[in-house]
Amino acid sequence: MLLENVTFTSYLGGTLLLSALSLISCFLVIRHHITLSLAVAAFITTGWAAVLAWDSYQPTLTVQELILCETLRFGSWILGIIQQLKHSNQNRKLHRGPFLLIQFLWISSSILFVVVLPALVDNKNQAYQLYVWSCMLLSILTIVSVEQLFRNSPHNRINKVYSLGLAAFLLYDLYLFSYALLFGKLDAEIWRSRGAVNGAAAIFLSFGLLAVSSQGSPRQNKVAISRPLAFYTTGLTTAGFFLALMAAGGYYIKVYGGNWGTVIQVTLIFSALISIAVVFGSESARANLSVFIDKHFFVHKYDYRSQWLSLIHHLTSTPDIDEDPHQKALRAITDVVKCKGGMLWMDNQFGRFIPIATLNMKYPTREFEEDSDSEFCRILREQEWVFSPSASANHELSNFNEHLPRWAQEIDDLWLIIPMLVDSNLIGFVLLSSPPAEFELTWEDLDLFKTVGREVASYISRNEAAELLAQSKQFDAFNKLSAFVMHDLKNLIAQQALVVENAAKHKENPAFIDDMIRTIDNSVQRMSNLLKKLQQTQPSSGRQLELKNVIINSVKKCQDRMPPPTLRIMEDSLKVVADEDNLEMIVTHIIKNAQEATPADGYVDVTLRSEDDNQAIIEVEDNGCGMDSEFLKNRLFRPFDTTKSGKGMGIGVYQTREFIRNLGGDVLVKSEAGIGTTFTIRIPRFIEETNTTAKVENL
């Protein structure tokens, strides 16, 4: 058979098979599986094959006409693919940028190769170069379109079949025209096979489209090759590509290398073979390549969204009253890892790790501790290493097993030891028993376990910090209460001390004896009330008080100090609701403070009055040393801050303001250094409700 007849037969067979694909495409258009543009592309490709078959039998086409045919063929597929993408992704947002760019490039290249450049061609060689370059660029654009169709159709089987079928003959075209660019001419054998390759792709497309279209739209089944097969396939492909690259380099060295060309070519290829043998003979290299393939070419083993939500649910769920947070954290880890039991070891704050919680795992028969400075802990802390005591000697996880502590051998069914890190600090580690089923550890398992360990460590650290904060608040409240009690006791002791001091002089005076008894009785009552409040057996509730009597008693208690206070009562019918002892104590305290800040020849005036807004006003004014504005703003009401070195606790003014505010009032202070101070106590006054109905009847 003549070579021309072989070419004719190849393209004629391709035409017939492409015709079948065109008819099947029309059927799919009717079934609304594909757009009309894809069927038109199939018909145009059929016409293209027929034209080339006729040209191989009776050559009549010019190079410009061939460029036009190729442009129509490639362009029809580009437009068909873009329209199919829009059709199959109507409910899904697509990025239009790549598609607009592909259309722009195709239209621009079509105008360039069909209209502009042919007018500049003046010889056969230039026309040939124009044909090769146009087909090369158009095939690349079409391959990019096919790749977009494949990437943006994750669940459309018809689109995937089209992508694979079109990629077959497009890659062949890319190889054909790449070869022509490299060697300056079209290979006759590759050109003759082009029609048959298009026909074979048409057969694949036809059967594939019929198969998937007849299945309707069932639930999508995921088809994937096994990981070992992918490893060897990828490895062989990589090695083949590397060898091909070396062979191509060696070829050009041979052609252009002169006398040394053959020597350099053989040396280069031999070095490539040795490199591949060394890489694939290295266990670590194979392991790294396997991890790379798993990470980048396969769906992940875990649904990390569900794993993370499960872990958060376990850690944040409402705990039982008696549930230990460490036990809760351990249960969360075992549920995520899907193992039968575990044991939690934590730092005892003395540089040693001890077991503090267990779940379906027995404690060691003897009490063991692990020093935080041991090599075992150092590896956990610095390398975040997951120990596997049950790993075989040749397994990667057994690299540091010689550093396992002695107690690890006494724990039955020990599978993994996972570190618990907060930043770079090791706060503990978790021992896990074997999972219920056969479990092969991968890089993904280890990454998940390390992440879970860090999250649980953070949870435990936050829980411990919250407990320390709660304890600190309790101690703070206790300290404040103790300070208030000591302040009250100091005032009572001062009264008792004054009685004892005067007893030797006035013990024969009956009036003094009566006053002493009243003072002691008052002290006993106040101490009893204080104890009742501390024991919370009696609520601190107030009663109606004649404010005049409280002020008079407070002034009397301060008459023995200099300067003696003066009293002005501008309204003697004021009543308030408060605890009498506490109110009298704070008024007395303010008067005494004023006396201490005022020289003996100065004055301390106490005034009782009211205002129109139903407020009872107690003013204590002196002309003592006063206070500057900074002290008033930053230190006056701060608890435990005092200027009386060795004499006070610094809570009197703070206690005064807190008490008055609890009554609904407030304490205001005006002072100027060297001039004096005025304390103003505002308390809501008690107003009795009058029975107007009774008054009318009496009238």
Tally the C-alpha atoms within 13 A of residue 417's C-alpha that lie toward its C-beta: 29
The C-alpha atoms of residue 622 and residue 185 are separated, in whole angstroms, by 114
Q: What is the pLDDT, as a whole number, of residue 241?
A: 52
598 falls in which pLDDT band (50, 70, 90)?
very high
Residue 656 reports pLDDT greater than 60: yes
Token readout for 586 is 């704070």
419 forms beta bridges with 429
The C-alpha atoms of residue 417 and residue 404 are separated, in whole angstroms, by 10
Residue 686 reports pLDDT greater than 90: no
Residue 678 reports pLDDT greater than 80: yes
Q: What is the pLDDT, as a whole number, of residue 160?
A: 81
Q: What is the pLDDT, as a whole number, of residue 586?
A: 87
% residues pLDDT > 70 (the chain): 73
Q: What is the pLDDT, as a whole number, of residue 49?
A: 87
* Selection from 360, 381, 386 nearest residue 370 by Cα: 381
Please, are residues 622 and 676 in contact by the beta-carbon 8 Å criterion? Answer: yes
215 falls in which pLDDT band (50, 70, 90)?
low
Q: How far is CA 567 from CA 550, 594, 600, 604, 682, in A?
A: 12, 14, 17, 9, 17
Q: Could you tell me the end-to-end alpha-carbon distance of the chain, in angstroms, rounded to an integer?
A: 143
Q: What is the pLDDT, as a whole number, of residue 80?
A: 87
Q: What is the pLDDT, as a whole number, of residue 96?
A: 62
Q: What is the pLDDT, as a whole number, of residue 618?
A: 93
Alpha helices in 543-579 (DSSP H): 547-557
What is the enclosing helix (H) or strand (E) of 511?
helix 510-535
What is the residue whose two structure tokens read 């690299």? 399
* Selection from 567, 634, 621 nearest residue 593 by Cα: 621
Q: What is the pLDDT, as a whole number, of residue 221?
A: 40
Q: What is the pLDDT, as a whole number, of residue 680?
A: 93
Please, are residues 156 and 88 in contact by the beta-carbon 8 Å criterion? Answer: yes
The C-alpha atoms of residue 244 and residue 250 are separated, in whole angstroms, by 10
Q: What is the pLDDT, as a whole number, of residue 527?
A: 74
- In this predicted model, what pLDDT tens digit does every residue of 428-484 receive, in sequence order? 998 888 776 666 677 677 888 888 888 888 888 888 787 777 767 766 666 666 666
Q: Which amino acid is at 419?
A: P
Q: Give mean pLDDT, residues 102-124.
A: 75
The C-alpha atoms of residue 635 and residue 652 are separated, in whole angstroms, by 13
Span of 88-97, 188-197, 228-237 with lowest mean pLDDT: 228-237
685 three-class SS: coil
Residue 60 reports pLDDT greater than 60: yes
563 preceded by cis ω (within 30°)?
yes
Please, are residues 77 and 145 in contact by the beta-carbon 8 Å criterion? Answer: yes
Q: For residue 246, what are the contacts with CB-CB under 8 A and spacing of at least 6? A: 268, 269, 272
What is the residue whose two structure tokens read 């249960």? 331
The model carries a pTM of 0.37
Higher pLDDT, 643 or 262: 643
Q: For residue 656, what are the contacts with CB-CB under 8 A and spacing of at least 6? A: 586, 589, 590, 667, 681
Please, are residues 427 and 455 in contact by the beta-carbon 8 Å criterion? Answer: no
Give me the chain's average pLDDT, please.
76
Span of 306-320, 345-359, 588-602 with lowest mean pLDDT: 306-320
Q: What is the pLDDT, as a whole number, of residue 689?
A: 58
Span of 42-51, 82-91, 542-551, 582-591 with lowest mean pLDDT: 82-91
- In this predicted model, what pLDDT tens digit does every residue of 7-47 receive, in sequence order? 788 888 888 888 888 888 898 888 888 889 888 988 998 99
- The beta strands (E) that lie in 529-587 are given as 543-546, 566-569, 575-578
- In this predicted model, what pLDDT tens digit does every residue of 286-297 receive, in sequence order? 555 555 555 555
Please, are residues 353 and 347 in contact by the beta-carbon 8 Å criterion? Answer: yes
The C-alpha atoms of residue 454 and residue 420 are separated, in whole angstroms, by 5
Q: What is the pLDDT, as a whole number, of residue 348?
A: 76
568 falls in which pLDDT band (50, 70, 90)?
very high
Max avg pLDDT among 97-106, 167-176, 371-380, 536-545: 371-380
Q: Give mean pLDDT, residues 658-673.
A: 88
